[in-house]
Amino acid sequence: MKNKLIFSIVLSAALLLTSGCDIMAAELPGTTEVPTQSAIETEESEEAAEEEPEEEIEEETDTRKKISLDKVKLTSALSYENGKIVLKWSKIKNADRYEVYRSETGKDGFEKLASTKKTKYTDKKTKKLKTYSYKVRAVVDESDLVQESFGKFSKTVEKTCRKAPERSAYLGDSVMSGFGIYGVLGSDERSFAERSLRVNGLFYDILPDVINYHPERVYIMIGTNEVVGNPSVTEIKSRIEKYDDVIEGLYKRNRNVEVVVMGIGPTRNCIRITNSTVKRYNKVLKGICKKHPCSRYYDTTKVLKDSEGRLRGDYAASDGIHWSVSAYKAVYADLKKFMKTW
């Protein structure tokens, strides 16, 4: 038995020497597994890799100058009848250019619309009667000496893309009726003015017919009969209390309506209606306009008054209250210029 064991060991050793390859030692009684040469080299390589420290990478510091920019201030935002929306803003010191952002959903969803070196931008990519929000910021471009920098955004402004009206209505008293009587109005414009009409009568008697006409723009000039006798501000407010309701009624019928509240014109040598009273009345109208975003005040007196603030002689009728044909033409032409922007 002993001889057989010795023979087995000798035979295994012989095979190991003659094969020329790394083989696993035979599992013999009293023996252990012998590692191969390649396994030993792999283990030594892994140990060396673990011991070798990682090389630290230093981050480069940007030593270029960073310029601080002021916040852009929007100075105007105008919507034109042809559909364009024009933005203007203040010039910012050190700015290379300005970025204009626009949103179609309000405060969120802003996307860069344009980059310009000017302090003005015209948005032509608009849809009629759609409302847009805008904001602008100043930018310093990157260079070898300067980092790219951005200023804070301006306040957001909203503007609605307009369109030229297909129907316009003129509401008011006998002074307003002259636009229709003298043939000043265009074919797409209609007069609803009547003699001796007051604001309350306009609301109850005329407004329903105006609403059924479906105007996209409405001009209102009424109040001459309310100011006869030179009433106080309190009395004026009481006499025209339905003026707000007229504007609101038009807006409820058409959310895109443009209401032009025209101040009453100056008078000439008229004791019954002094120009001090005209100023008081028109000041009340301005206050009414501020309460209604769909309305806008138009200063009629600027076209008609002379150097002393009275109705010009060549524009005045014999009573010093009503107007001549040339006066209507002058006001009409100025109204058209006035309404090109909103």
Range of the domain at 152: 74-160
As a whole number of angstroms, the distance between CA 323 and CA 212 comes to 30
Residue 29 lies in a domain: no
274 and 221 part of one domain = yes
- Same domain assignment for residues 116 and 226: no
Same domain, 149 and 183: no
For residue 108, what are its two tokens? 């969120």
* 3-class SS letters over 2-35: HHHHHHHHHHHHHHHHHHCCCCCCCCCCCCCCCC
Confidence of residue 25 (pLDDT cuts 50, 70, 90): very low
Question: Looking at the structure, do residues 321 and 222 belong to the same domain, yes or no?
Answer: yes
Largest alpha-carbon pair distance within the chain? 154
Q: Are residues 152 and 275 in the same domain?
A: no
pLDDT at 33 over 60: no
Number of other residues whose CB lies within 10 A of the CB of residue 52: 8
What is the token pair recorded at 164?
């030229």
Does 106 share its domain with 207?
no
User: Could you tell me if residue 178 is inside a domain?
Assistant: yes
- Number of Cβ within 10 Å of residue 77's Cβ equals 17
Q: How confident is the model at residue 295 (pLDDT cuts 50, 70, 90)?
A: very high
Digit-coded pLDDT (tens) for 199-231 = 999 999 999 999 999 999 999 999 999 999 999
Indicate if 124 and 243 belong to the same structural domain.
Answer: no
Residue with tokens 């009424």: 222
* Domain presence at residue 33: no
Q: Taking 60 as the threshold, does the pLDDT of residue 8 lie above it?
A: no
Residue 11 in this model has a pLDDT that exceeds 90: no
Asked if residue 155 and residue 130 are part of one domain, the reply reads yes
CATH number of residue 305's parent domain: 3.40.50.1110
The span from the CA of 234 to the CA of 290, in Å, is 18
Note the pLDDT tens digit of each residue in 106-134: 878 999 999 999 999 999 999 999 999 99
| Residues 147 and 214 both lie in one domain | no
Indicate whether 175 and 287 sit together in one domain: yes
Contact in structure between 91 and 73 (CB atoms under 8 Å):
no
**pLDDT value at residue 27:** 47
> According to the model, what pLDDT value does residue 52 have?
61
82 CB neighbour count, 10 Å cutoff? 11
Please give the pLDDT value at position 108: 83
Segment 144-155 mean pLDDT: 94
Q: Which two tokens stand for residue 136?
A: 């602008």
pTM over 0.85: no
Instruction: Please write the tens of the pLDDT for every residue from 89-102.
Output: 999 999 999 999 99
What is the DSSP secondary-structure string of 64-76? SB----PPP-EEE
Determine what percent of the chain is predicted with pLDDT higher than 70: 83
